[in-house]
Amino acid sequence: MLTTLFIATSLDGYIAGPDDDVSWLFTDADYGFDEFYTTIDTLIMGRGTYDVVRKLGRWPYHGKRTMVVTRSEKLDITTPDTAYFNGSLPDLEKLLKEQGVRNSWLVGGGELVAGYLNAHLVEQVVVSVHPVLLGHGVPLFPTEIPRTRLELINAEAYDSGLVQLKYKIKRK
């Protein structure tokens, strides 16, 4: 199974501003998102990210299975094709493989991303760096992550100033 972290960040390393503000994200083009989205069959996101996306209004991930990772024993799911998981991340990956998942999108948030990196479960990283400095907010990596070597697959600069970097995780 290929698990890809596909995420946007400010130049100073924040994935959201204060109060989960994402109004600074560029929406003038899809920046490769639509092409990426067609390749995945499952989204994996943390509980906080799930709550933020639900507050944005209409659920944007219709037709794609979503797994919400939570520490809660029970989670009230109100969106289609969505389930929650409260076990270990390796157990989640095993479950998804058993269910035939081939390509998953690790949506975030930061704690879940760090957990996936610490468990060596990410194979690919696509980071869209927006040319904005937020100063504070939700950091891309809020907790300690292991030293991880990356191999650059592609770098693309857009007229808007956004730079998208695609990496493969290098394994020993």
Q: Is residue 159 part of a domain?
A: no
Q: How confident is the model at residue 130 (pLDDT cuts 50, 70, 90)?
A: very high
Residues 6 or more apart whose CB falls under 8 angstroms from that of 26 comprise 130, 160, 162
From residue 111, give the alpha-carbon distance in Å to each of 68, 71, 116, 162, 163.
13, 12, 9, 24, 24
So what's the pLDDT on residue 44?
98
Q: Judge whether 92 lies within some domain.
A: yes
- pLDDT tens-place string over residues 66-97: 999 999 988 888 889 999 999 999 999 999 99
Distances (CA, A) of 94 to 38, 77, 151: 23, 22, 26
Distance in angstroms (rounded) separating the CA atoms of residues 142 and 14: 9
- At 43 the three-state DSSP class reads strand
Averaged confidence pLDDT in the chain: 94
List residues bridging with 138 in a β-sheet.
Answer: 16
Among 7-16, 54-63, 78-87, 132-141, the least confident range: 54-63
Query: Is position 63 within any domain?
Result: yes
89 lies in which domain range?
A: 2-20+27-140
**What is the C-alpha separation between 6 and 163, in angstroms, rounded?**
13
C-alpha to C-alpha distance for 6 and 166, rounded to whole angstroms = 9
Query: Is 154 among the domain residues?
Result: no
Banded model confidence at residue 172, pLDDT cuts 50, 70, 90: confident
Instruction: Give the pLDDT score at 133.
Output: 98
Is residue 69 domain-resident? yes
5-45 pLDDT, tens digit per residue, is 999 999 999 999 999 899 999 989 999 999 999 999 999 99
pLDDT score recorded for residue 56 = 82
Domain total for the chain? 1
Kindly state the average pLDDT of the residues 165-172: 93
Cα 17 to Cα 143: distance, rounded to the nearest angstrom: 17
What value does the mean pLDDT take over residues 108-127? 95
The residues pairing with 93 across neighbouring beta strands, listed in sequence order, are none
The span from the CA of 97 to the CA of 160, in Å, is 38
**CATH number of the domain encompassing residue 47:** 3.40.430.10
pLDDT at 171: 87
pLDDT at 50: 94
User: Which one-letter amino acid corresponds to residue 165?
Assistant: L
Q: Is 85 contained in some domain?
A: yes
Domain-located, residue 153: no
